[in-house]
Amino acid sequence: MTPTTTKSRSLLPMALSLAAVIVCLTAGGLFVWWEIANKGGVVIKLTPDELASLPGARNQPIGVTPAARAARRPNAASTPPPDPDGIFNSGNAMNIRTGNVQVRVSPGPVAGGPPVLVFAQRNWGMLQNSSNFTIARRVVHEDAIAKQLAVTPDQIAKLTPIVSGSAVKGVYVNALPVSKDDMTKALDAWMVYRKTWTVTGPPPGTPEDLLAAMKDVGNTAMAQARKEYSDADSAISGIITNEQIAAYINNRSLATPTGK
Protein backbone atom coordinates (compact mmCIF):
# COMPACT_ATOMS: atom_id res chain seq x y z
CA MET A 1 0.00 0.00 0.00
CA THR A 2 2.91 2.33 0.42
CA PRO A 3 3.59 2.88 -3.33
CA THR A 4 -0.04 3.90 -3.99
CA THR A 5 -0.02 6.45 -1.18
CA THR A 6 3.24 7.96 -2.39
CA LYS A 7 1.95 8.33 -5.99
CA SER A 8 -1.23 10.05 -4.82
CA ARG A 9 0.76 12.52 -2.79
CA SER A 10 3.03 13.35 -5.82
CA LEU A 11 0.01 14.19 -8.03
CA LEU A 12 -1.57 16.50 -5.48
CA PRO A 13 0.67 19.58 -6.16
CA MET A 14 0.11 19.26 -9.94
CA ALA A 15 -3.66 19.17 -9.47
CA LEU A 16 -3.57 22.19 -7.22
CA SER A 17 -1.45 24.17 -9.75
CA LEU A 18 -3.86 23.33 -12.57
CA ALA A 19 -6.81 24.41 -10.47
CA ALA A 20 -5.07 27.69 -9.67
CA VAL A 21 -4.49 28.38 -13.38
CA ILE A 22 -8.14 27.70 -14.20
CA VAL A 23 -9.29 30.00 -11.39
CA CYS A 24 -7.00 32.82 -12.64
CA LEU A 25 -8.18 32.49 -16.23
CA THR A 26 -11.80 32.49 -15.15
CA ALA A 27 -11.30 35.55 -12.99
CA GLY A 28 -9.54 37.38 -15.82
CA GLY A 29 -12.32 36.59 -18.26
CA LEU A 30 -14.95 37.76 -15.78
CA PHE A 31 -13.03 41.00 -15.26
CA VAL A 32 -12.84 41.73 -19.02
CA TRP A 33 -16.58 40.98 -19.38
CA TRP A 34 -17.33 43.31 -16.48
CA GLU A 35 -15.28 46.12 -18.08
CA ILE A 36 -17.05 45.76 -21.42
CA ALA A 37 -20.49 45.57 -19.84
CA ASN A 38 -20.00 48.64 -17.66
CA LYS A 39 -17.83 50.88 -19.89
CA GLY A 40 -19.09 50.03 -23.36
CA GLY A 41 -15.81 48.68 -24.70
CA VAL A 42 -12.11 48.26 -24.13
CA VAL A 43 -10.05 51.46 -24.20
CA ILE A 44 -6.78 51.04 -26.07
CA LYS A 45 -4.42 54.02 -26.29
CA LEU A 46 -2.52 54.39 -29.55
CA THR A 47 0.37 56.66 -30.42
CA PRO A 48 -0.08 59.29 -33.20
CA ASP A 49 2.00 57.14 -35.56
CA GLU A 50 -0.23 54.12 -34.89
CA LEU A 51 -3.35 56.24 -35.47
CA ALA A 52 -1.98 57.59 -38.73
CA SER A 53 -1.35 54.06 -39.98
CA LEU A 54 -4.98 52.99 -39.56
CA PRO A 55 -7.13 52.56 -42.74
CA GLY A 56 -8.66 55.89 -43.71
CA ALA A 57 -6.44 57.75 -41.26
CA ARG A 58 -5.64 60.45 -43.83
CA ASN A 59 -9.31 61.47 -43.85
CA GLN A 60 -9.76 61.52 -40.09
CA PRO A 61 -9.00 64.40 -37.69
CA ILE A 62 -6.66 62.36 -35.53
CA GLY A 63 -4.29 65.11 -34.51
CA VAL A 64 -1.52 64.15 -36.92
CA THR A 65 -0.22 67.26 -38.66
CA PRO A 66 0.02 67.47 -42.49
CA ALA A 67 3.79 67.82 -42.11
CA ALA A 68 3.94 64.52 -40.22
CA ARG A 69 1.94 62.78 -42.95
CA ALA A 70 4.16 64.25 -45.64
CA ALA A 71 7.24 63.04 -43.81
CA ARG A 72 5.86 59.50 -43.87
CA ARG A 73 5.01 59.81 -47.59
CA PRO A 74 8.04 61.57 -49.13
CA ASN A 75 7.26 60.31 -52.65
CA ALA A 76 3.57 61.28 -52.68
CA ALA A 77 2.58 63.05 -55.90
CA SER A 78 1.71 66.72 -55.60
CA THR A 79 -0.20 68.99 -57.95
CA PRO A 80 2.26 71.29 -59.71
CA PRO A 81 1.53 75.00 -59.46
CA PRO A 82 0.28 76.77 -62.60
CA ASP A 83 2.92 78.17 -64.93
CA PRO A 84 3.67 81.75 -63.94
CA ASP A 85 3.55 84.68 -66.34
CA GLY A 86 6.88 85.54 -67.88
CA ILE A 87 9.32 84.90 -70.70
CA PHE A 88 10.90 81.49 -71.09
CA ASN A 89 13.67 80.22 -73.33
CA SER A 90 12.52 77.38 -75.58
CA GLY A 91 15.44 76.29 -77.70
CA ASN A 92 15.65 78.52 -80.76
CA ALA A 93 12.55 80.48 -79.70
CA MET A 94 11.14 82.37 -76.73
CA ASN A 95 7.76 81.68 -75.12
CA ILE A 96 5.80 84.47 -73.46
CA ARG A 97 3.02 83.48 -71.06
CA THR A 98 0.61 86.19 -70.04
CA GLY A 99 -3.10 86.12 -69.20
CA ASN A 100 -4.96 83.52 -71.30
CA VAL A 101 -2.42 83.38 -74.11
CA GLN A 102 1.09 82.29 -74.86
CA VAL A 103 3.20 83.84 -77.62
CA ARG A 104 5.94 82.01 -79.46
CA VAL A 105 8.68 84.31 -80.74
CA SER A 106 10.79 82.65 -83.45
CA PRO A 107 13.57 84.10 -85.65
CA GLY A 108 12.25 85.66 -88.85
CA PRO A 109 13.21 84.63 -92.38
CA VAL A 110 15.63 87.55 -92.69
CA ALA A 111 18.72 87.55 -90.47
CA GLY A 112 18.57 90.54 -88.14
CA GLY A 113 15.01 91.27 -89.20
CA PRO A 114 11.80 91.15 -87.14
CA PRO A 115 10.85 87.80 -85.57
CA VAL A 116 7.72 85.76 -86.19
CA LEU A 117 5.11 85.98 -83.42
CA VAL A 118 2.40 83.33 -83.03
CA PHE A 119 -0.37 83.86 -80.46
CA ALA A 120 -2.10 80.73 -79.11
CA GLN A 121 -4.41 79.69 -76.29
CA ARG A 122 -2.40 79.20 -73.12
CA ASN A 123 -4.27 76.11 -71.89
CA TRP A 124 -5.61 73.40 -74.16
CA GLY A 125 -9.40 73.43 -74.39
CA MET A 126 -10.02 77.15 -73.95
CA LEU A 127 -11.54 77.07 -77.45
CA GLN A 128 -14.19 74.35 -77.64
CA ASN A 129 -15.51 72.91 -80.91
CA SER A 130 -19.27 72.70 -81.14
CA SER A 131 -20.76 69.27 -81.96
CA ASN A 132 -22.38 71.02 -84.93
CA PHE A 133 -18.92 71.51 -86.42
CA THR A 134 -18.41 67.76 -86.71
CA ILE A 135 -21.80 67.21 -88.31
CA ALA A 136 -21.26 70.03 -90.81
CA ARG A 137 -17.79 68.80 -91.78
CA ARG A 138 -19.00 65.25 -92.34
CA VAL A 139 -22.06 66.34 -94.29
CA VAL A 140 -19.92 68.42 -96.67
CA HIS A 141 -17.09 65.90 -97.10
CA GLU A 142 -18.89 62.52 -96.84
CA ASP A 143 -21.60 61.73 -99.37
CA ALA A 144 -22.83 58.77 -97.32
CA ILE A 145 -23.58 61.00 -94.31
CA ALA A 146 -25.25 63.61 -96.52
CA LYS A 147 -27.53 60.90 -97.98
CA GLN A 148 -28.23 59.37 -94.57
CA LEU A 149 -29.43 62.74 -93.25
CA ALA A 150 -31.23 63.65 -96.51
CA VAL A 151 -29.22 66.86 -96.81
CA THR A 152 -30.27 68.99 -99.78
CA PRO A 153 -27.88 70.52 -102.33
CA ASP A 154 -28.91 73.96 -101.07
CA GLN A 155 -27.88 73.02 -97.51
CA ILE A 156 -24.50 71.74 -98.72
CA ALA A 157 -23.94 74.95 -100.71
CA LYS A 158 -24.54 77.03 -97.56
CA LEU A 159 -22.45 74.80 -95.30
CA THR A 160 -19.38 74.61 -97.56
CA PRO A 161 -17.99 78.12 -96.92
CA ILE A 162 -18.66 77.77 -93.17
CA VAL A 163 -16.77 74.47 -93.02
CA SER A 164 -13.91 76.08 -94.94
CA GLY A 165 -13.62 78.86 -92.35
CA SER A 166 -10.75 78.99 -89.89
CA ALA A 167 -12.92 78.37 -86.82
CA VAL A 168 -14.50 75.11 -88.04
CA LYS A 169 -11.22 73.93 -89.59
CA GLY A 170 -9.53 74.25 -86.20
CA VAL A 171 -6.91 76.79 -87.26
CA TYR A 172 -7.38 78.85 -84.10
CA VAL A 173 -6.49 75.95 -81.83
CA ASN A 174 -2.80 76.53 -82.64
CA ALA A 175 -2.80 80.16 -83.82
CA LEU A 176 -5.25 82.86 -82.81
CA PRO A 177 -6.44 85.50 -85.29
CA VAL A 178 -4.38 88.68 -84.82
CA SER A 179 -5.10 91.77 -86.89
CA LYS A 180 -2.30 93.55 -88.77
CA ASP A 181 -2.41 96.55 -86.46
CA ASP A 182 -2.28 94.40 -83.32
CA MET A 183 0.61 92.37 -84.69
CA THR A 184 2.51 95.59 -85.34
CA LYS A 185 1.84 96.64 -81.74
CA ALA A 186 3.13 93.30 -80.46
CA LEU A 187 6.26 93.44 -82.64
CA ASP A 188 7.04 96.97 -81.50
CA ALA A 189 6.76 95.92 -77.85
CA TRP A 190 9.06 92.97 -78.48
CA MET A 191 11.70 95.07 -80.24
CA VAL A 192 11.73 97.57 -77.36
CA TYR A 193 12.33 94.69 -74.97
CA ARG A 194 14.90 93.14 -77.31
CA LYS A 195 17.07 96.24 -77.09
CA THR A 196 17.52 95.61 -73.36
CA TRP A 197 19.32 92.33 -74.01
CA THR A 198 22.98 91.99 -73.22
CA VAL A 199 25.48 89.76 -74.98
CA THR A 200 24.43 86.94 -72.66
CA GLY A 201 20.74 87.19 -73.43
CA PRO A 202 17.64 88.77 -71.89
CA PRO A 203 17.99 90.53 -68.55
CA PRO A 204 16.59 89.00 -65.38
CA GLY A 205 13.22 90.05 -64.04
CA THR A 206 9.76 90.40 -65.56
CA PRO A 207 9.30 93.04 -68.28
CA GLU A 208 5.87 94.33 -67.27
CA ASP A 209 5.38 96.53 -70.36
CA LEU A 210 6.01 93.66 -72.76
CA LEU A 211 3.70 91.28 -70.89
CA ALA A 212 0.96 93.90 -70.76
CA ALA A 213 1.18 94.57 -74.51
CA MET A 214 1.13 90.85 -75.39
CA LYS A 215 -1.78 90.24 -73.01
CA ASP A 216 -3.79 93.04 -74.60
CA VAL A 217 -3.21 91.74 -78.13
CA GLY A 218 -3.85 88.15 -77.02
CA ASN A 219 -7.14 88.97 -75.30
CA THR A 220 -8.37 90.73 -78.44
CA ALA A 221 -7.39 87.73 -80.56
CA MET A 222 -9.07 85.27 -78.17
CA ALA A 223 -12.28 87.30 -78.20
CA GLN A 224 -12.26 87.33 -82.01
CA ALA A 225 -11.74 83.57 -82.17
CA ARG A 226 -14.59 82.91 -79.74
CA LYS A 227 -16.89 85.20 -81.74
CA GLU A 228 -16.12 83.27 -84.94
CA TYR A 229 -16.77 79.99 -83.14
CA SER A 230 -20.14 81.27 -81.92
CA ASP A 231 -21.09 82.72 -85.30
CA ALA A 232 -20.24 79.48 -87.10
CA ASP A 233 -22.21 77.44 -84.58
CA SER A 234 -25.27 79.66 -84.98
CA ALA A 235 -25.01 79.58 -88.78
CA ILE A 236 -24.84 75.77 -88.88
CA SER A 237 -27.83 75.52 -86.52
CA GLY A 238 -29.81 77.65 -88.97
CA ILE A 239 -29.01 75.35 -91.90
CA ILE A 240 -29.15 71.79 -90.52
CA THR A 241 -32.55 70.91 -89.06
CA ASN A 242 -33.12 69.51 -85.57
CA GLU A 243 -34.43 66.31 -87.17
CA GLN A 244 -31.19 65.85 -89.10
CA ILE A 245 -29.09 66.49 -85.97
CA ALA A 246 -31.15 63.93 -84.00
CA ALA A 247 -30.79 61.39 -86.82
CA TYR A 248 -27.02 61.87 -86.81
CA ILE A 249 -26.79 61.44 -83.05
CA ASN A 250 -28.98 58.31 -83.08
CA ASN A 251 -27.39 56.91 -86.26
CA ARG A 252 -30.78 56.89 -87.96
CA SER A 253 -31.38 57.31 -91.68
CA LEU A 254 -33.71 59.91 -93.15
CA ALA A 255 -33.14 58.76 -96.71
CA THR A 256 -36.22 57.82 -98.71
CA PRO A 257 -36.17 54.10 -99.67
CA THR A 258 -35.45 53.47 -103.37
CA GLY A 259 -38.59 53.05 -105.44
CA LYS A 260 -40.85 55.02 -103.16
Tell me: the pLDDT tens digits for 59-83? 443 333 444 444 444 444 444 456 7
| pLDDT level of residue 17 (50, 70, 90 thresholds) | low
Asked if residue 124 and residue 10 are part of one domain, the reply reads: no
Residue 256 belongs to a domain: no
Residue 124 belongs to a domain: yes
Residue 28 belongs to a domain: yes
Counting the structural domains of the chain, the total is 2
Query: Partners of 118 in the beta sheet?
Result: 104
Residues 133 and 248: beta-carbon distance below 8 Å: no
Structural domain of residue 53, as residue ranges?
Answer: 2-72
Asked if residue 111 and residue 235 are part of one domain, the reply reads: yes
Q: What percent of the chain has pLDDT over 70?
A: 66
Query: In whole angstroms, what is the distance from residue 121 CA to residue 100 CA?
Result: 6
Asked if residue 230 and residue 124 are part of one domain, the reply reads: yes
| pLDDT level of residue 201 (50, 70, 90 thresholds) | confident
Question: How high is the pLDDT of residue 88?
Answer: 87
Indicate the range of 1-15, 178-192, 208-222, 224-238 predicted with least confidence.
Answer: 1-15
b/e 10-45 (16+ beta carbons within 10 angstroms → b): eeeeeeeeeeeeeeeeeeeeeeeeeeeeeeeeeeee
Q: Is the pTM of this model over 0.85?
A: no
Residue 14 pLDDT exceeds 80: no
Asked if residue 48 and residue 144 are part of one domain, the reply reads: no
Residues 214 and 101: beta-carbon distance below 8 Å: yes
Domain boundary pick from 72, 107, 123: 72
Residue 81 belongs to a domain: no
Residues 48 and 68: beta-carbon distance below 8 Å: yes
Domain boundary pick from 48, 72, 96: 72
Mean pLDDT for all residues in the chain: 78
Residue 29 belongs to a domain: yes
Domain boundary pick from 47, 72, 97: 72
Asked if residue 121 and residue 223 are part of one domain, the reply reads: yes
Asked if residue 228 and residue 141 are part of one domain, the reply reads: yes
Asked if residue 103 and residue 65 are part of one domain, the reply reads: no
